[in-house]
C-alpha cells in the first residue's frame, strides 16, 4: 500500500438471501471479502441497520456503512465492489429491484464527480436514513461535499416527514 491512501465510504445493503444466508449474514460475508481485496484496508464499520425499502418494494433491508483506505481510484473501487456483488448473485432486472447485495461508493475523499460511471457524493445519500444513520455512527462530523456534515443532514432528514423506517439492529 502506498503512504497516501484514499478514504472511501461504502454502503452495504441486502434484502434477499444469498448463498451466505440471511441479508445480515451476506453483509458480514461481503465485508470479509472486501477486506481481502488488494489495495483496500477496512478502517471502521457501523453496526447493522434494518430499514424499510425506499422507492422500491420487497422485504426489509439490512444496511451498513464502512470506511476504507484504498490505493484504488474511485472507478477501480466501484469495479471491485461490483465484482463482489456478482459473487453474491446480484441481479439488476429493474431499477431498485430487491437484491442479494448492493455495494455503493458513498464518498471518496472529498471528490465531486458526475459521469456515466459514478456520481460522488452518492446522489441520494442525504435522502436516506439507512445511509446517514450508520455514517453518523462512524463519523457524525464528516463533511459531505456541497451538502454539510452527516450530523446536520441526518438532523434535517429526521425533522421532515420522510416516511422512512430505519433502526439499528441489536448486537
C-alpha cell at 93: 432486472
CB–CB of 130/158 below 8 Å?
Answer: no
User: Going by C-beta distance under 8 Å and a sequence separation of 6 or more, which residues neighbour residue 36?
Assistant: none
Cell of 73: 481510484
Residue whose C-alpha is closest to residue 169's, from 66, 23, 48, 52: 48
The catalytic site residues sit at 90, 99, 102, 104
Amino acid at each position: 500500500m502506498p503512504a497516501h491512501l484514499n478514504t472511501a465510504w461504502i454502503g452495504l445493503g441486502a434484502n434477499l438471501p444469498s448463498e451466505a444466508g440471511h441479508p445480515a449474514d451476506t453483509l458480514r460475508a461481503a465485508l470479509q471479502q472486501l477486506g481481502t481485496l488488494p489495495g483496500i484496508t477496512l478502517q471502521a464499520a457501523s453496526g447493522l441497520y434494518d430499514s424499510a425499502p425506499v422507492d422500491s418494494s420487497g422485504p426489509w433491508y439490512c444496511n451498513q456503512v464502512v470506511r476504507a483506505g484504498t490505493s484504488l481510484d474511485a472507478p477501480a473501487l466501484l469495479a471491485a465492489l461490483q465484482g463482489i456483488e456478482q459473487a453474491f448473485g446480484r441481479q439488476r432486472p429493474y431499477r431498485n429491484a430487491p437484491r442479494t447485495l448492493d455495494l455503493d461508493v458513498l464518498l471518496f475523499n472529498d471528490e465531486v464527480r458526475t459521469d456515466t460511471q459514478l456520481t460522488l457524493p452518492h446522489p441520494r445519500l442525504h435522502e436516506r436514513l439507512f445511509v446517514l444513520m450508520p455514517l453518523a455512527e462512524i463519523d457524525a462530523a464528516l463533511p459531505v461535499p456541497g451538502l454539510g456534515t452527516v450530523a446536520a443532514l441526518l438532523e434535517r432528514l429526521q425533522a421532515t416527514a420522510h416516511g422512512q423506517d430505519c433502526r439499528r439492529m441489536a448486537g
